[in-house]
C-alpha cells in the first residue's frame, strides 16, 4: 500500500563546507531511509536546503570580505555539490533566502500572531555601536563577575560554569571586532511557549516509539517552557510582516524561526516547481502521511519542541485555541530520528582544532559508497562514535571489497567465462533452495529495520546474506565441477540470484555500486537514480538564480522485492566493484587528513 512519506532533513548552515560529522547526523541516514521507502512503493518527498540567515553568516562574510548574500551563495552551492556527490536523493534541496521561503515564513507567523501565540516584550540587548547590529551573547566576551576569569562568554563562563547575562560581564567586548558593546532597550517578539504546555505535553506523551535519546530529551521538556524570542536586531533575515515592524531595517526574524519552517516552505516550493502548486498537501494535510525528521542530537529541541509548537499554534490547536492559518491544518512530525555525534579522538569535529575531514575531500579520494556504508554500519546511530581510519579501512577492505565485491566478482566472472550468460538451473538441491530462501526472507527483516531507521541492524542483516552466499560458494566449489556442467550451472545460477537479491537489499546504502551490479548482471537503464544539481530561477524574485538538487526518482527500477534473474541474459567479465585500500592508510590516514 502506497503512503505519502515526508523525509525532512536538517538544514546545513551555509557558512563553510560540510564535514563527515555533519553528514553522518542528518545526511546519510535520511537518504538510506528515503531510498528504502521509494523502493517499498511509498510516495516520498525529501526536502531540505541551506540555512542562510543569522549572525554567523555575517561574521563569515566580514572575514571573507563578501556580502552576506555572496557568502550564502558561495557555501550553498558548495554544500549542494557535496550532497549531490554523496548521492542524497532530495526531491528539493533549496535555500532559506528564496522569495518563496520569505512568503511562507511570513504566512506561518501571521497565523501564530492571529491566534495569540506571539507577544511583544522590551528586553536589554547588546548592540555593536559601529554596525547597529545585535551582538548575540556568544559573540561577547569579558571578565566573569563571579570568578574573575577573563575569557567568559556572554552566555556562560567556561571557567566556573555559571550561566551569565552579557550585561553582567566586567569589561565586555565584541569577539568580532573588539569594540565595547552598547546595551540598549529593544522591543522583540516572543513565541509564547508556555501556551503550549498542555497540548504539546499531551502530544509528547503519545510519542512512545521515538529513539531513546529523543525520548529522554523530551521527558521533562514541558515543565519549564519560557517565551522564546523570534526576532533579532539584525539586517539579514526575513522581515516581520506587521505594521511598525515591516519597514524597520534592523528587525528580522531570528534564524532558528525561519529555518525550522523551511521543511514546509521547501515542500511548497517543490510543489510550485512541479506544476501542481497544491501537491504539497499530500504530505502535510493528509492524516495518512508520515513525517520523518533527521538531524544530529544538538538539534532535537527544534524538532521535538519548537517546530511542533509552531505547527500547533499555526493550526490554532495550542492551549489558547484559534483557527488554522492559510495553509490549513498541518501535520506534526511522526518520527524524530536523531543521531549522536561522530567524533575524532573523542572530540567533536572542529575546524579550529584541525580535527576535521571535509565531505568533498573524502568523496574525491574514496567515493560516496564507502562513506555511506561506514556511517550506516559503524556510525553514531545510538552513541557518540569515534571515526578512525583503521576502522574505515577495515570495513572497506573486509566487508565491501572481500565480502560483497568478491561475491559479485567471482559469481559473474565464473558465469561469464563458462556460459557467457546467466546459466539455467537444473534440479536445485536443498542447499540451493536454502540459500535462496534466506535471501528472500531478508527483505522483510531488513525492510522492517529500515522503516524504523535502524540502519546498523539493517546493513548487518543484508551483509549476513552476502556472507552466507560466500560460504555456499566455498562449500559447493563450482570451479571444481568441470565434469558436471549442469551442477556447476545450477550453483552459479543460485549464486547470481542471491547476488541480485543482496544488491537490492544493499541499494539504499550503496546506490552507486548497486547501479554497477545491476549492469554487471546484464541489466540496463536506471536502477538507483541520483540527484542532479540544476540552476533555477527564483519563483518570486525576478532575475535571481540559484542551484537546487532534485531528481527523477520515479524512473528508477529498484523495488523492494526479489527479482528472478533470467537465464540467457548475456554476462561479461567484471571489473572489481570496490578497490582495496592500502592497509597503511589505516595507521596514518591520507596525507590531507588529520590523524585520528
Ligand atoms: Zn566564572
pLDDT tens-digit series, residues 124-146: 888 889 888 778 777 899 999 99
Q: How far is the CA of 161 from the centre of ligand 1 (A)?
A: 6
Distance (angstroms) between ligand 1 centre and the Cα of 139 equals 17
Which residue is listed with cell 526479489?
562
- Residues 6+ away with beta carbon under 8 Å from 308: 200, 203, 332, 333
Query: What residue has cell string 526575513?
Result: 238
Ligand 1 centroid to Cα of residue 170, in Å, is 11
Tell me how far the alpha carbon of residue 103 lies from the centroid of ligand 1, in angstroms. 44
β-partners of residue 336 are 293
By CB atoms closer than 10 A (0-12, 13-18, 19+), residue 230 is buried
| Ligand 1 centroid from CA 383, angstroms | 31
Ligand 1 centroid, distance to 146 Cα (angstroms): 5
For residue 188, report the distance from its CA to the centre of ligand 1, in Å: 29
What is the CA(156)–ligand 1 centre distance, in A?
8
C-alpha 483: how far from its chain's center? Answer: 53
Contact in structure between 368 and 460 (CB atoms under 8 Å): no
How far, in Å, is the centroid of ligand 1 from the Cα of 124? 22
Centroid of ligand 1 to alpha carbon of 79 (angstroms) = 38
Ranges of the chain whose pLDDT falls below 70: 1, 352-353, 595-596
CA of 141 from ligand 1 middle (Å) equals 12
Q: d(Cα 371, Cα 18) in Å, to the nearest integer?
A: 14
165 CA to centre of ligand 1 in angstroms? 12
Q: How far is the CA of 302 from the centre of ligand 1 (A)?
A: 29
CA of 155 to the centre of ligand 1 (A): 11
CA–centroid distance, residue 136 to ligand 1 (Å): 19
Distance in Å, CA 176 to ligand 1 centroid: 21
CA distance 440 to 563: 10
Expressed in angstroms and rounded, the spacing between residue 164 Cα and the centre of ligand 1 is 9
Q: Is residue 558 classed exposed, middle or buried when 0-12, 13-18 and 19+ CB atoms within 10 A define those classes? A: buried
Residues 207, 324, 9: CA angle, nearest 5 degrees = 50
The whole-angstrom separation of Cα 287 and Cα 104 is 21
- How far does residue 351's CA lie from ligand 1's centre (Å)? 26
Distance 148 CA to ligand 1 centre (A): 6
Distance 183 CA to ligand 1 centre (A): 21
The C-alpha atoms of residue 438 and residue 459 are separated, in whole angstroms, by 15
Q: Where are the beta strands (DSSP E) in 419-531?
A: none
CA of 167 to the centre of ligand 1 (A): 14
How many angstroms is it from 356 CA to the middle of ligand 1?
30
CA of 125 to the centre of ligand 1 (A): 21
Contacts of 163 (CB under 8 A, 6+ apart): 155, 156
Say which DSSP state 581 is in.
P
Distance 143 CA to ligand 1 centre (A): 8
Distance from the alpha carbon of residue 160 to the mean position of ligand 1, in angstroms: 4
- pLDDT at res. 339: 94
Residues found in the chain: 596
For residues 14 and 22, what is the distance between their CA atoms, to the nearest angstrom?
Answer: 12
Q: How far apart are CA 397 and CA 586, in angstroms?
A: 11
Phi-psi region of 188 (alpha: psi -120 to 50; beta: other; left: phi over 0): beta
Q: Could you identify the residue written with the cell 550532497? A: 83
Integer Cα distance of 33 and 590 in angstroms: 30
With a CB cutoff of 8 Å and minimum separation 6, the contacts of 224 are none
CA distance 459 to 468: 14
β pairing state of 4-9 and 43-50: parallel
CA of 344 to the centre of ligand 1 (A): 29
Q: What is the C-alpha separation between 180 and 143, in angstroms, rounded?
A: 13
* Residue 158: CB atoms within 10 Å: 11
Distance 171 CA to ligand 1 centre (A): 14
Euclidean distance between CA atoms 459 and 372, whole angstroms: 11
Phi-psi category of 584—alpha, beta or left, where left has phi over 0 and alpha has psi -120 to 50? alpha
Q: Do residues 92 and 549 make contact, with C-beta atoms less than 8 angstroms apart?
A: yes
- CA-CA distances (angstroms) from residue 581 to 364, 374, 392, 396? 14, 14, 10, 7
Using the mean position of ligand 1's atoms as its centre, give its distance from the Cα of residue 169 in Å.
Answer: 10
Residue 516 half-sphere exposure, CB side, CA atoms within 13 Å? 15
Amino acid at each position: 500500500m502506497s503512503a505519502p512519506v515526508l523525509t525532512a532533513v536538517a538544514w546545513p548552515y551555509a557558512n563553510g563546507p560540510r564535514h563527515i560529522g555533519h553528514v553522518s547526523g542528518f545526511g546519510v541516514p535520511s537518504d538510506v531511509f528515503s531510498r528504502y521507502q521509494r523502493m517499498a512503493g511509498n510516495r516520498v518527498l525529501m526536502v531540505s536546503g541551506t540555512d542562510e540567515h543569522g549572525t554567523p553568516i555575517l561574521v563569515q562574510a566580514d572575514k571573507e570580505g563578501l556580502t552576506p548574500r555572496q557568502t550564502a551563495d558561495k557555501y550553498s552551492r558548495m554544500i549542494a555539490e557535496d550532497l549531490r556527490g554523496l548521492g542524497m536523493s532530495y526531491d528539493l534541496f533549496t535555500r532559506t533566502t528564496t522569495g518563496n521561503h520569505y512568503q511562507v515564513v511570513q504566512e506561518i507567523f501571521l497565523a501564530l500572531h492571529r491566534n495569540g501565540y506571539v507577544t511583544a516584550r522590551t528586553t536589554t540587548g547588546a548592540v555593536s555601536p559601529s554596525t547597529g547590529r545585535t551582538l548575540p551573547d556568544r559573540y561577547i566576551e569579558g571578565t566573569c563577575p563571579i570568578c574573575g576569569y577573563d575569557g567568559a562568554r556572554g552566555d556562560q563562563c567556561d571557567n566556573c560554569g555559571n550561566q551569565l547575562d552579557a550585561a553582567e560581564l566586567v569589561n565586555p567586548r565584541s569577539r568580532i571586532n573588539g569594540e565595547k558593546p552598547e546595551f540598549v532597550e529593544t522591543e522583540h517578539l516572543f513565541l509564547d511557549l508556555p501556551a503550549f504546555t498542555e497540548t504539546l505535553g499531551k502530544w509528547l506523551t503519545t510519542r512512545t516509539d521515538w529513539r531513546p535519546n529523543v525520548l529522554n530529551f523530551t521527558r521533562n521538556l514541558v515543565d519549564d517552557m519560557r517565551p522564546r524570542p523570534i526576532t533579532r536586531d539584525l539586517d539579514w533575515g526575513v522581515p516581520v510582516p506587521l505594521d511598525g515592524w515591516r519597514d524597520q531595517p534592523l528587525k528580522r526574524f531570528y534564524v532558528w524561526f525561519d529555518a525550522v519552517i523551511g521543511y514546509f516552505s521547501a515542500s511548497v516550493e517543490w510543489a510550485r516547481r512541479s506544476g501542481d502548486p497544491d501537491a504539497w498537501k499530500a504530505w502535510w494535510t493528509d492524516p495518512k502521511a508520515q513525517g520523518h525528521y533527521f538531524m544530529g542530537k544538538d538539534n532535537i529541541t527544534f524538532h521535538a519542541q519548537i517546530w511542533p509548537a509552531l505547527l500547533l499554534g499555526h493550526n490554532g490547536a495550542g492551549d489558547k485555541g484559534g483557527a488554522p492559518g492559510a495553509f490549513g491544518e498541518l501535520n506534526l512530525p511522526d518520527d524524530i530520528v536523531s543521531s549522536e555525534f561522530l567524533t575524532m579522538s573523542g572530540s567533536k569535529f572542529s575546524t579550529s582544532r584541525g580535527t576535521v575531514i571535509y565531505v568533498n575531500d573524502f568523496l574525491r579520494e574514496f567515493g560516496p559508497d564507502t562513506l555511506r556504508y561506514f556511517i550506516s554500519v559503524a556510525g553514531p546511530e545510538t552513541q557518540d562514535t569515534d571515526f578512525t581510519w583503521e576502522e574505515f579501512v577495515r570495513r572497506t577492505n573486509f566487508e565491501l571489497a572481500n565480502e560483497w565485491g568478491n561475491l559479485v566478482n567471482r559469481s559473474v566472472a565464473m558465469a561469464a567465462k563458462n556460459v557467457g550468460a546467466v546459466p539455467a538451473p537444473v534440479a536445485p538441491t536443498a542447499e540451493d533452495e536454502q540459500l535462496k530462501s534466506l535471501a528472500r526472507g531478508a527483505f522483510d527483516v531488513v525492510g522492517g529495520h529500515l522503516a524504523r531507521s535502524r540502519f546498523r541492524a539493517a546493513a548487518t542483516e543484508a551483509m549476513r546474506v552476502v556472507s552466507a552466499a560466500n560460504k555456499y560458494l566455498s562449500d559447493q566449489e563450482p570451479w571444481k565441477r568441470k565434469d558436471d556442467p549442469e551442477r556447476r550451472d545450477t550453483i552459479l545460477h543460485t549464486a547470481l540470484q542471491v547476488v541480485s537479491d543482496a544488491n537490492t537489499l544493499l541499494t539504499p546504502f550503496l546506490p552507486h555500486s548497486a547501479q554497477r551490479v545491476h549492469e554487471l548482471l546484464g541489466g540496463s537503464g536506471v536502477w538507483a537514480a541520483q540527484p542532479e544539481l540544476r540552476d533555477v530561477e527564483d519563483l518570486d524574485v525576478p532575475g535571481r538564480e540559484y542551484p537546487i538538487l532534485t531528481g527523477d526518482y520515479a524512473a528508477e527500477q529498484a523495488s523492494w522485492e526479489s527479482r528472478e534473474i533470467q537465464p540467457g541474459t548475456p554476462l561479461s567479465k567484471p571489473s572489481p566493484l570496490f578497490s582495496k585500500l592500502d592497509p597503511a592508510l589505516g595507521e596514518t590516514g591520507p596525507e590531507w587528513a588529520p590523524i585520528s
